[in-house]
Amino acid sequence: MLFGQILALYGVGLWLPQLIRNSLGVRGVMSVAVLTALPYTLATVAMVLWGQGEPTGAVPAACTGRSDGDRRAGAGGGAVP
């Protein structure tokens, strides 16, 4: 799971500007920067809307589930099947 997160982070951070420049034909540096920032902006808006629209216990429940999964994976002592 961590490998996938790191791969996605590098994919968006390093390769997305090159993909935008080459695939879409955008040549301006500022235009490439704005288009690269678009996924981060949309994710921020989605997180804020999700946090406001959910019942009070939904976000803590999701965080608790994630931490419980991490604890169980760490207690296994090896790769998770």
* 70 domain-assigned: no
* 26 domain-assigned: yes
* 37 domain-assigned: yes
State the pLDDT at residue 75.
Answer: 61
Distance of alpha carbon 18 from alpha carbon 10, whole angstroms: 12
Q: Report the range out of 1-5, 6-10, 22-26, 46-50 with the highest average pLDDT.
A: 22-26
Distance of alpha carbon 31 from alpha carbon 43, whole angstroms: 19
* 56 domain-assigned: yes
How many domains, in total, are found in the chain? 1
* 71 domain-assigned: no
* 21 domain-assigned: yes
Q: What is the pLDDT of residues 11-66, one digit of tens each?
A: 778 888 888 899 888 889 999 989 988 888 988 888 888 777 766 667 677 777 76
Range of the domain at 38: 14-65
Mean pLDDT of 74-79: 55
Evaluate if pTM is beyond 0.85.
no
